[in-house]
Structure formats: C-alpha cells, structure tokens
C-alpha cells in the first residue's frame, strides 16, 4: 500500500467517549452508583480536553466514537471535538452491547445514534464501532442503509479490508485488545509498558507499510499520569514518517 | 489556584483504617475466618504505627478515614492518630457499602459513625468518605445535616469542587483508583511501579498547580516492603515544593 | 540423555491453531459474536503466516496441534503448514474440553479429528494434545488404538516420559502454563517479560541436558508486537547448541 | 529480640507440599482431571528435589508443611525431607479448607494428619499450618491437645507472638500473601519482581532485628526458571547475617 505524501505507514488515533453509558448495560441500574458514574464522567469533563490538547499540539486529527446519548448529554463537548477537525463517529446510542438486544432493538439503537449525532454536530456519521466491541450479524447488516461506510469493530486482520454488510459492503479498519488502553489498565497497569507495546506495534506497522488504529478512553488514558502514552505515540508516529489521519480519511484513501 | 506559603501545589495523604470491617459487608459472616480477619487486623496493629512513623519523620499531617466501629474497637490507636495532629474523618460505621442499605439504614450508619468518632476523639468529624467508594444519593444528601463539610468519594474531576448534597453543599476532594494502593496490590503488585505512577501524578499536579489526594490502607501499604512508597512520595512532594496538608486544611484554604 | 549431532539439549516449538473453535465449548453459542470470532480467526489468517516466516528464516520445524474442524475450514493453510515440513498433530475435533463430554463423545471427537487431518494432509497424525489441556482417562485410554504414539498434555515432569494409555503406552512430552503464551497475555502481558522467562527456561533445559516444549497460539504470539518472542527464542536456542525438532522427531529419538 | 550466634535477624524457609490435594476441596471431584492433577504432582516429583538441592547447597534447614494424605501417597519423598534434617509439620490431612468442615470433621482431619505424618516420619508434628490459610476457631482450639506447639496461619503481626488456642497457647509464626509464591505466580508473574520484593522484606526484617517466614510451593517455585528466587533468597539472607532455621527451632529459641 502507498500512503499520501510518501508516508511509509498510516496511523489513526481513535477515542471512545462512552461517558456514564460505559457502565454495564449502558448504565442501566447504576443511577445510584455516584462514584462509579463519576469515574466515567471524568472522561468527558477532564479526559477529553486533555486528549484534545495533545492532539492539537501535535496537529493530529483523530476519530472519536461517541454514543448518541453521550452527545445529547454533552453537546458542547462533542461539538468542540467536531469543531477541532476530528471525526465524530457512531458508537451505539446507549452503548449497550448489541448481542444483548433483539434485531429490532439493535436497529433502533443504530437509528437513535445517527439522529443524536446529527442533531449535535450537524452531519450524519459515516463510521461505526460496536459498543464493547461485540459486533453482531444484525447490526453489521443494518449499517450500509444508515449511511455508514466504515466499521472499526473486528480483529481478523491488521490491515484495512472490505467486509460484506447485509446487501452492501463496508471498509473495515480492524482493532485489537492489545491496541486498546482498557485491558492494559483494567488492574492498574504501568503506562511505560503500554508505551513500549504501542511503540513496538508502530515499528511493525512501519515495516509492513500498513495502517494501524489505536483505541483509547478519556477516563483511562486521559488521567494525568497516563496521557504521556498518547504524547509519545504521536511523537514517534510523526518522527517515523507516518500519515496520521482519522478513519474517514484512511477509508477515502483506501477506496481511491 | 494559589496555595499557602507560595507552594506550587497541594498534596493530601489519606489513610483508610478499615480493620476487620474492611472484609465484605463489614465482616458480617466472617467471624470464623481467623486468617482473613488477622490480615486486616495487621493494618491497625502494625500498619498504622509504621505509617505514622513515616509521617512524623516527614512532619506531615494526613487525614485518616475511620469507620466508627473500628474507633470503638481500637480507641487508643485512633486517639493516638488524632493526638499526633492528623485529621480523623468519617468512613461509615461498619464499613458497609451504602448501596447495599436502605436510606434509613444509611442514615443510621452515618449517625453511628459520627457518635463513635466523637466518643473516641472528643470532636465530631467534618469529612466523609464512602465505604468501598460507593457514594449514593441518600448518603450524600444526609451529610450536611451531620456537620460534614467535605467529602472524598467522587472521581469526576482531579481538582477540588463544590457538590450539591441535599439542601446544602460540600467541598469534594476527588479520588481515583490509580491513586489508591488497593487495586495496585490486589494481585501482588510491584511497589516500584506504584512509586513511579504516584510520582508521575505528583509531577502533573505540580504542573497544573492543583491539589491531589493519595489513598492508602495500613494493611496494604503498611507492609514492610511497601512503606517505602509513602516515604518516597512525601520526600518528593516536599522536594517539589508542595503544601502537604490534611483534607480539612485544604477545604479551609479552598473555602477562604 | 544425549541428543542428535552432539546437541546439549532439545527444544520443540509447538503451535496450537485453534481458530474460532478456541472459543468456549468450541464456539458453540458464539456464532453471533462476530468480534470474538474475528479475534480468533486472526490467528489462522495472519498469525500462522507470521509464525511460519520466523520458523522458515530460522530453519526450524515445529509441531502444529490442529483441531480437525479447523483443518476442514482452512485446508490450504493447514496443508501449507504440513508442506513446509512441520508436524501437524491432533488437537481434538471441535476443540471441546474432553471433561465436558461422555466417553463415547470423546471417542467420536478423537476419530473425527483423525479423519479430518488425514483428509487434509494425507496422513494420520501420531501426536495428540488435549483441548484446553484437560486430558481425561477415557481420552488417554483411546489414543493408542487410533495410531497416536505421543501426547503433549501433562505437566508432572519436565522430561519426556512413558505414560500408560489404556492397554498401550505413549511417550509424553510434558507442558506447563509458564511455557504457554496464553496465560501470560491473558491480561495484556509484556512480551519482554515472557522472553526473559522463556530464556531462563532454556538455560535450565541446557544445564539439565533435557528436552523442553514451548506452546504458542497464532492469535496471541502472532500479533505484530509479540512475534519477537519467538524470534528471540529460536535464536537463543540455536546459539546455545540446541536441537530444534518437532515432537515426532523427539519421540523417535527418545524411543531409539 | 536476640538470635543465636549474634545473628541480626532470623529467617524461615517454609514449603507447602500439597500434591494433588492442593486442588479445590482436596481434589474431590477432580479424579478425571489428569492435567490439573499432573500439574500438582510435579511439585512432589520434580519440585521437592529441586528445592531440597538448593537448601542442601546452602546448608539450610526448612519447615515442610505436608498434608497427611500426601505423606501416605509419597512416603519416600516425605521421609527423605525429614531425613535431610528439615522439619515436617502438619498441613491438614486432605488439605481441605477448615471453614468448609464441621467442628467434628475438622478434628478428624487434624487427627488423621497427625497419624499419617507419625506413620511416615516416626514422630508427631509439633507445628501446624491451616490448608489454604483459613484457620478457624475450632481448629485452633483443638491444636494444643494434639501436641502442636506452634502455628503458622495468621497475619496480624510480622513478629512471632503467643496466641490463645482453646485452653492452651501456641507460638504463632505469622505469614502473609506477599511472602507466598502462590499469589505472585497465579497469573504468570515475573520471578525477578518476586526476588526484589522478598529481598526488600529481608532488609526490613534485618533492620527490625526480627524473624520472617517465606512460604513456597514445589509445583510453583520448583519450576526450573523460578527456583532462582529461593537461591537468591538464601544467599542474601546468609550474606546479611541471618539465622536460617526451621519453625521448630525458632519456637524453641523464642520460648527460651
């Protein structure tokens, strides 16, 4: 593959802004758990600005996957993300794992998410990522008719590929748990170890001249002592000659 | 924010002295588990003196969150903590997660905790921290009428803020799992990694000129090979020009 | 023990190619979990070629334990493994833990696995490894009559030994969880730590002049940033004067 | 405290030889789990000799806590341990957690364990350690009448102390999970980190001129790449001027 401007490889920074909907079953039954809710809320209030600052300093545009209900609850923050040039994409409506819902409910979640994002940022999303990375056949099949052209929920390759979705196709930009901050910090991980792992992955992507997506959460990587992981990642990506681009631009390039 | 004596930032050392009430549901049903109880008891018998020694050498006053029942069971230890100039604050009565109790039971736990601490240290606590960091709306709403002016159970910011509590307000001094020793050592963690993480957080708090709270447990950080984490933390905080103060003093400064 | 060509010790690289059958109960009930399935599929599509490349560069033949159903689903990949000179051995049919099945069902799984591998690679396997490393008396007893001469599922020694299996015997090439990549990376482990552990085991095997088996999974160690663990392992084994051989060759040597 | 020969501190190496009885509920219901059983059996067959070699080279006598049923199943190994000058002490009969049993069953387990050890090593044990470190009031109360003079199951101090047991008293030699190899390696831990933690504990014990007990399992620390943890521990203990002694000798010294 070749990348714009002679870049050796391509890197996407993706951020899942789950807010309190990131709690189990989208926070259903957790309304009285003030501390658990406040831990998630930190991501929107403090984590997002911190991540945005790092991206602004580095001049990097990323893709922010946002559940519709989070956009409705925090419209100014989500509009600010879009206004800074980042892609705002679909991450369900209430961030409920699709596999827990019927096909009809899955469709309603998808439609509600599109409507919510459109109402907040003024345009319909073209990218989708399944809540909790559990894509189902019903959700996948419904995506093209909603205007979605790319998905980022599968792990069966480490290069962009085409995936059949109902009667259409999508570009898949694959992910992996080792490229996600959540498992690493689930039990108090060391940021320096994650920096080392993510840098090794960068070296591999460069050697294979391919695209790679990193996934982070503002309530996790946006904590003060962890944001250095993103700082070093974008520094090293740029120093290595990568094209740093949001998913929509990677898809446009791959399709062209 | 500015801090007393031209300090660049402010640091609070907080210690949760849970004793055997730190077992699930405050130790209910664990009366025959002698080893599990003895593991927790270590904190009161050996851990607290070791932490007090480190704080005394460094000339630092901290905030000790103590369940009322622990104060009644170990009055001399808790009185010694207060006598050394540390703040003794409210950490429930039997250290039962508020979300497991009805609103009436939550209120009784709060009242019993205030009474117990007052009987042991001669004054009513003005600070509160929810057992197992699970604050509920009912407990939060009840705090002001009990004379509580500050809480330390929420995670939605990393700066002190005002929180509505029933018909009053409290100053919230927020916390986080990464600033707590318990998750790090839940599965045999490395003290040197925690020292590194906590030092990175100190550097961030200094850069942002803000307040930061660290939380520790005497049966965890008071183990011989782990107490160095506290030693290095207070050394580095002092060397970095921090104001090291208990929560009550931080609240008084912030309110002024 | 002595090894061919004056080698000081013997090393087997073994790879479990579980595919989507590596999900609980062989993937039963997971047909709609597209992401979970895709994570496993990565091993066959991307992980196996990457591991094969490392082995080809190093000139090493390994043993690939393959469930029959995986061979049927991916015949070209499995035939390519065999064609490159690696041993393809029996790893159940649907990769269901034998202890979950009746004796008759266990036998059917064994027979189906033999038939599937024979249909894909043209010869019957002579080695067996129990799915999820849970060997049962019924499965063990059935192995000799199916033409199996060696097993690699037990942990009671670190040297090859003879094990009674029904009315026959097998050569056992023992394993251990610390010599398997799966537990190490179950929660986001550091490849450099595993390299260190595996190198220490290599030094011990050399000092004791014995055989050692390493076990890996293509969806785990075949991820870009982890394949270096295999690269360094085969480099150090060769540099230390080891005989690197598949299980069938070790068994032939031990039997001779 | 003072220690023999002017030693600054005292160190006991203790080994729990659980064999297949170390499986949940003493292995009840696990008879068909050949791999799980073989993992435990490794400790008796390969781990114990490896640990004995390290202790012999260092000239150190330790305390081996052995369930009665393990002694009956492996009499030669247990007799060899005793013959090499190590203390063989009581670790239950079938290694069933006392809290799972009635008071009468607990007593029967204790008696069976005493009888089994006496039949194998020719003398009655004087030390006890509760299976899975879950001492109960009933078991504790029964110990003195069985000839037990010291216990090693509690965690409420890090110095030897006297504990009331029924109508008698015992010397307690306390333990802790951080001084046990099992939690550290439960998920694939790094031996070098455990060496560092145990060395830090040694330094603390020396500074406080006290006794310390380390606990290990032959199927865990007796694996090839982990035995270095014991080698380094006894080297550093000796180099630091410690008195290395089994529990019975520490108890005799403390009582005198």
For chain A, domains (ranges, CATH) are: 7-255 (3.20.20.370)
Strand pairing partners for C151?
C128, C172
Indicate the SS3 state at residue C231.
helix
Please answer whether residues B141 and B119 qualify as being in contact, where contact means their C-beta atoms are separated by less than 8 angstroms: no
Query: How distant is the Cα of C188 from the closest Cα of chain A, in angstroms?
Result: 5
Q: Is D45 helix (H, G, I), strand (E, B) or coil?
A: helix
For the cut 90, the answer to whether the pLDDT of residue A110 exceeds it is yes
pLDDT at C74 (0 to 100): 98
Give me the helices (H) in A59-180, please.
68-73, 75-83, 103-121, 137-142
**pLDDT at D219 (0 to 100):** 98
Instruction: Tell whether D224 is within 8 A of chain C (Cβ).
Output: yes
Residue of A152, A178, A184, A233 best to disrupt the C interface, most CBs of C under 10 A: A178
Say if the Cβ atoms of A34 and B196 lie within 8 Å: no
Cα distances (angstroms) measured from residue B12 to each of B62, B169, B234, C60, D146: 6, 21, 10, 58, 52
CB contact under 8 A, A34 and B193: no
Q: What is the pLDDT of residues A32-80, one digit of tens each?
A: 999 999 999 999 999 999 999 999 999 999 999 999 999 999 999 999 9
What does the pLDDT read at residue C178? Answer: 98
Element (DSSP H or E) covering residue A214: strand A211-216
Distance from CA of C33 to the nearest CA of A (A): 6
CA C167 to centroid of chain Cα atoms? 25
What pLDDT does A188 receive? 82
**Which chain D residues touch B32 with a CB distance below 8 Å?**
99, 136-138
Place of tokens 């990348």: A3
What pLDDT score does C256 carry? Answer: 86
Is D189 part of the contact surface with chain B (CB cutoff 8 Å)? yes
**pLDDT tens-digit map of D26-68:** 999 999 999 999 999 999 999 999 999 999 999 999 999 999 9
Mean pLDDT of B54-74: 98
Nearest alpha carbon to residue C89 among C142, C116, C129: C129
The beta strand positions in chain C, using DSSP E, are: 9-16, 63-66, 87-90, 127-128, 150-151, 161-165, 168-172, 211-216, 242-244
Residues 6+ apart with CB under 8 A from B231: B54, B58
Q: Do residues A110 and A143 touch, judged by C-beta distance below 8 A?
A: yes
Which ranges of chain D does DSSP label H, i.e. alpha helix?
34-42, 48-58, 68-73, 75-83, 103-121, 137-142, 181-185, 191-207, 227-239, 247-255
What's residue B28's pLDDT?
94
Place of tokens 């439609």: A111
Q: Express each pLDDT in B103-127 by its tens digit.
A: 999 999 999 999 999 999 999 999 9
pLDDT, position D171: 98
Q: Determine the average pLDDT of the residues in C236-255.
A: 97
Q: How confident is the model at residue D256 (pLDDT cuts 50, 70, 90)?
A: confident
Mutate to test the interface with D, among B33, B38, B182, B226 (most CBs of D within 10 A): B38
- Coil, strand, or helix at residue C134? coil
Longest CA span, chain D: 53
Does residue A64 contact residue A85 with C-beta atoms inside 8 Å?
no
> Which distant-in-sequence residues (6+ apart) come within 8 Å of C216 by Cβ?
C13, C14, C15, C16, C51, C180, C181, C222, C229, C230
Beta bridge partners of A242: A9
pLDDT of B244 above 90: yes
List the structure tokens of D172: 């307690």
In angstroms, how far is CA C55 from the centroid of its own chain? 14
Beta carbons of A100 and A132 less than 8 angstroms apart: no
Tell me how far apart the alpha carbons of residues D118 and D113 are, in angstroms, rounded to a whole number: 8
| pLDDT over 70 percentage in chain B | 100
CB atoms < 10 A from the CB of A239, how many?
9
pLDDT at C210 over 90: yes
pLDDT above 90 (res B64): yes
Bridge partners, B168 (sequence order): B165
Over residues D124-159, the pLDDT tens digits come to 999 999 999 999 999 999 999 999 999 999 999 999
The pTM of this model reads: 0.97
CB contact under 8 A, A34 and B137: yes
* DSSP H or E segment with residue A16: strand A9-16
Task: Match 């990506």 to its residue by tokens.
Answer: A237
Instruction: Give the pLDDT confidence of D112-128 residue by residue, as tens digits.
Output: 999 999 999 999 999 99
With a CB-CB cutoff of 8 Å, which residues 49-88 of chain A face chain B?
A: none
Q: Does A145 lie at the interface with B, CB-CB under 8 angstroms?
A: no
In chain D, residues 1-60 whose CB comes closer than 8 Å to chain C = 32-39, 41-42, 45-46
Rounded to the nearest 10 degrees, how much is the dihedral formed by the CA atoms of D192, D195, D197, D199? -140
Tell whether A186 lies on the interface with B, counting CB pairs under 8 A.
no
């Amino acid at each position: 593959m070749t990348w714009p401007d002679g870049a050796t490889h391509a890197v996407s920074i993706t951020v899942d802004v789950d807010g309190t909907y990131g709690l189990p079953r989208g926070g259903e039954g957790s309304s009285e758990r003030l501390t658990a809710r406040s831990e998630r809320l930190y991501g929107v209030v403090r984590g997002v600005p911190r991540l945005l600052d790092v991206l602004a300093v580095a001049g990097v545009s990323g893709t922010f996957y946002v559940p519709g209900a989070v956009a409705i609850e925090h419209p100014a923050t989500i509009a600010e993300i879009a206004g800074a040039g980042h892609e705002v994409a679909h991450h369900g409506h209430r961030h409920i794992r699709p596999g827990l819902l019927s096909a009809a409910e899955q469709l309603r979640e998808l439609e509600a998410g599109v409507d919510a994002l459109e109402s907040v940022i003024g345009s319909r999303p073209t990218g989708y990522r399944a809540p909790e990375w559990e894509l189902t056949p019903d959700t996948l099949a419904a995506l093209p008719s909603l205007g979605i052209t790319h998905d980022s929920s599968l792990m069966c390759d480490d290069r962009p590929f085409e995936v059949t979705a109902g009667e259409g196709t999508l570009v898949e930009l694959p992910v992996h748990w080792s490229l996600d901050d959540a498992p690493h910090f689930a039990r108090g991980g060391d940021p320096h170890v994650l920096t080392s792992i993510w840098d090794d992955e960068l070296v591999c992507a460069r050697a294979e001249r391919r695209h790679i997506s990193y996934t982070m959460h503002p309530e996790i990587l946006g904590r003060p002592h962890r944001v250095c992981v993103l700082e070093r990642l974008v520094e090293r990506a740029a120093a290595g000659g990568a094209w740093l681009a949001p998913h929509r631009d990677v898809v446009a390039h791959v399709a062209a």
